[in-house]
Amino acid sequence: MNSANPAPLPDPPDPTVTVVVIGYDDAAHVTDAVRSALAQGPAVREVLAVDDCSTDGSAELLDALAAGEPRLHVVRREVNSGGCGTPRNDGIDRASSSYVMFLDSDDVLPPGAVDALLAAAGRHGAQVTAGLCVRRELPSGREVPWRPELYARPALVTRPERRPRLVTDTLCVNKLYRTDFLREHAVRFPDGRFVYEDFVFTARVLAAAPRMALIPDRVYVWHVRRAAQKLSLSLDRAGIDNWQARLDAHRQSVALLLDASQKRLARAARTSFLDHSVRMYARELDLRSPEYRAEWWTRTRAYLETFDTADFEAAPAPGRVVGRLVLASPAPRDLARVKEVAARPARLLPPYARAPDGTPVWSADLPQVSLEHLLHRPMRKLPVTVDGELVPRARGTRLTLLLHELYGRVAEAGPRTVDVELVDRRRGTVLQRRAATFTARSGDGGQDGSWVASAVLDLSALGRPGTCDIRLRLHFADGGHRDATPHAVRRPGLLRRVAVPSRRHGVLLAQPYATHSGALALRTAAGPRGVVSVLRRRAARLFH
């Protein structure tokens, strides 16, 4: 690897962009994607729409659009590739502009994206320029930024190894690439059916040590359609083949970085795997079949055995704990606890075991899974557990919270108060705020103690019905705080739908429920029409 900083590249004489749009059987969305690329203006010299042998009329729609738009060129593949990599490679090969970027047929480029990327590339002489991608959940429209910490402010990275967290942004679509850079270093996507092709492509880019510019501008809107009849390859995580594809892509990515002597980036990739991939799939294990769980555990264990101690030590604590548990146990176990530890924020459910020498451990029979870090981490990072019970009633809905001790750390900090927020999941807006005071429930609040607080929510004042998350901020006598979500208590009669009066809608159906990660949340349906809709869905489930 050349350790010298790559010099800034002179701006090309004609700094324009080729946008490569790939699609397969996506007639419902592909024209929106292409139009969003064309709407970027004259900076986009051409849009290459690569159709991967669609059978739903997508290619004909593109041909019709191209008839009136000279910048749009339709490329029809003769054989379906089975993945996203080969059509993107076709675009790299055919691009005639000095820069290239990628767009999937079901996503869009926001206005001004190309201009912002192109300006930064020219200003810094960068071979790769990256900006903020937002995940837009449909149909709700809720937007979540992807890896926002990387794009909080403009930055120039002359050597990627100096910013190892770059490996966490495995997307290829929120970036602008110098075409000659990709061709000179033979940076291509894996061909054929390769589910996580972005992982390998990104590793090849970073292994080539490009000069990179980062900008805070929104440059890509990733549409996430979880209710679609056919999920995207990466979102369809129900089968073990998806996890195996992720393992294969990650293993290949790490090997590429090591071969390029990018050891810091390879380590960062492994720690990111523990913190992101392992935690994400572990949260879903209790939704899978026993056969899937056994296979996932076995394959994950085999891959984690290739990690070294430093990889684990560099990872955030929740992923590190889950990974060490998988290594320590030959078969799946404690999945309810695993799910909560893998949540964001993490929660460690009781019981809290200790080794014979007093060190906190996962369980008495697995003392090698140490939790000693809990004795030293600041309170704001501790995986404290707060049980939550929400009981909707006509005269105020009571939220009862039970804060558990955690190896003496909670009593040491001194629980005082808790701020409660009811947050609209779609918009991210706070609908109600309440404050409550903790009181010790048993003894002196010592090692085995717990603390109780309760707040009354006014559901009758809620406006638009929908789904609400409950967020907590715990305050302690030592001045510290911890953000948390309540763990949903699953006792008979608690998580059920209740009709309560509403000042705005007459009647409101309120149902506390547990999310996939075990957090307490709330669904509401308003008015007679909402009630009828809920009853119809319930009847449909009963008869089908």
* Alpha carbon distances (Å) from 170 to 41, 104, 199, 242: 27, 15, 5, 17
What single-letter DSSP state applies at residue 519? B
pLDDT at 4 over 60: yes
Q: Which of 127, 159, 180 is nearest to 262 (CA)?
A: 159
pLDDT above 90 coverage of the chain, percent: 79
Same domain as 78, residue 208: yes
Query: 155 and 133 share a domain?
Result: yes
Residue 499 Cα to chain centre, angstroms: 34
Q: Count of alpha carbons within 13 Å of 504, Cβ hemisphere only?
A: 12
Classify the phi-psi angles of 506: left when phi > 0, otherwise alpha if psi is within -120 to 50, otherwise beta.
left
Residues 450-465, mean pLDDT to the nearest whole number: 88
- The b-or-e profile of 422-450 (16+ CB within 10 A means b, else e) is bbbbbeeeebeebebebeeeeeebeeebb
Identify whether residues 446 and 528 lie together within a single domain.
yes
pTM reported for the whole predicted model: 0.88
Number of domains the chain contains: 3
Provide the token pair at 52. Answer: 């991967």
Q: Which domain holds residue 323?
A: 241-376
Q: Tell me: the pLDDT tens digits for 328-374?
A: 999 999 999 999 999 999 999 999 999 999 999 999 999 999 999 99
53, part of any domain: yes
Say yes or no: 479 and 355 in one domain: no
405 and 459 together in one domain: yes
**What does each C-alpha distance from 520 to 160, 187, 383, 511 come to in angstroms?**
40, 45, 16, 10
pLDDT-based confidence at residue 235 (cuts at 50, 70, 90) = low
Residue type, 143: E
**CATH code for position 449:** 2.60.40
User: Looking at residue 25, what DSSP letter applies?
Assistant: S
Note the pLDDT of residue 544: 46
Look at residue 66 and give its three-state secondary structure.
helix
Q: Has residue 8 been placed in a domain?
A: no
Per-residue pLDDT band for 536 (boundaries 50, 70, 90) equals low
What is the rounded distance in angstroms from the CA atom of residue 486 to the CA atom of residue 483?
Answer: 10
What would you report as the CA-atom Rg of the chain, rounded to the nearest whole angstrom? 26
Is the domain of 395 the same as that of 265?
no
Kind and range of the H or E run holding 249: helix 240-259
Q: Give the DSSP letter string of 193-243.
A: S-TTHHHHHHHHHHHT---EEEEEEEEEEEEE-TTSSS--TTT--SSHHHH
Q: Which pLDDT value is given to residue 225? A: 83
The two structure tokens encoding residue 15: 């700094």
Is 444 found in the same domain as 402? Answer: yes
Number of H helices, E strands in the chain: 15, 24
Distance, CA of 236 to CA of 243 (rounded, Å): 10
Domain boundary among 350, 376, 402: 376
Instruction: Give domain status of residue 459, yes or no.
Output: yes
Give the count of beta carbons closer than 10 Å to the beta carbon of residue 272: 22
Give the pLDDT band of residue 2 (cuts 50, 70, 90): very low
- Tell me if 224 is assigned to some domain: yes
Residues 490, 494, 497, 500, CA torsion sign: negative
- Residue 496 belongs to some domain of the structure: yes
Cβ neighbours around 108 below 10 Å, total: 21
Alpha-carbon span 421 to 468, nearest angstrom: 10
Tell me the pairing of strands 386-391 and 397-404.
antiparallel
Tell me: do 47 and 191 sit in the same domain.
Answer: yes
Q: For the chain, what is the mean pLDDT? A: 91
Whether 223 is in a domain gets the answer yes
- The answer to whether 522 touches 422, Cβ cutoff 8 Å, is yes
Which of 173, 200, 229 is a domain's end point?
229
Please, which residues have CB within 8 angstroms of residue 155's CB and are 6 or more apart in sequence? Answer: 163, 213, 214
The reported pLDDT for the residue numbered 150 is 97
Domain boundary among 206, 229, 252: 229
Same domain, 80 and 107: yes
Q: State whether residue 55 is helix, strand or coil.
A: coil
Confidence of residue 232 (pLDDT cuts 50, 70, 90): low
Q: Looking at residue 392, what DSSP letter applies? A: -
Of 15-24, 71-80, 140-149, 310-319, the least confident: 140-149
Q: Which residue has the higher pLDDT, 187 or 230?
A: 187
Residues 369 and 390 in one domain: no
- Mean pLDDT on 197-201: 97
pLDDT higher than threshold 80 for residue 264? yes
Whether residue 450 contacts residue 403, with contact meaning beta carbons closer than 8 Å, is answered with yes
Is the Cβ–Cβ distance between 21 and 34 less than 8 Å?
yes
The CATH number of residue 142's host domain is: 3.90.550.10
* Structure token digits, residue 223: 């549409």
Q: Residue 115 burial (CB < 10 Å; 0-12/13-18/19+)? A: middle
Top-confidence residue, 112 or 1: 112
Integer distance in angstroms from the first to the last C-alpha of the chain? Answer: 61
| Residue range 75-111, pLDDT digits in tens | 999 999 999 999 999 999 999 999 999 999 999 999 9
Instruction: Examine the domain organization and report whether 218 and 287 are in the same domain.
Output: no
pLDDT at 153 over 80: yes
**Stronger pLDDT, 225 or 115, i.e. the higher one:** 115
Reply yes or no: is the peptide bond before residue 190 cis, omega within 30 of 0.
no
pLDDT digits (tens, 9 = 90+) for 397-433: 999 999 999 999 999 999 999 999 999 988 889 999 9
Q: Does 171 reside within a domain?
A: yes
Q: Are residues 165 and 180 in the same domain?
A: yes
> Is residue 189 included in any domain, yes or no?
yes
In the chain, the largest separation of any two C-alpha atoms, in whole Å, equals 79
Query: What pLDDT does residue 541 have?
Result: 46
| CB atoms closer than 10 angstroms to residue 22 | 28
pLDDT score at 13: 76
Sorted by sequence, the CB contacts under 8 Å of residue 466 that are 6+ apart come out as: 424, 425, 426, 523, 524
Distance CA 333, CA 134 (A): 35
The torsion of the CA quartet 522, 526, 528, 534, rounded to 10 degrees, works out to: -30
Give me the pLDDT at residue 529, please. Answer: 61
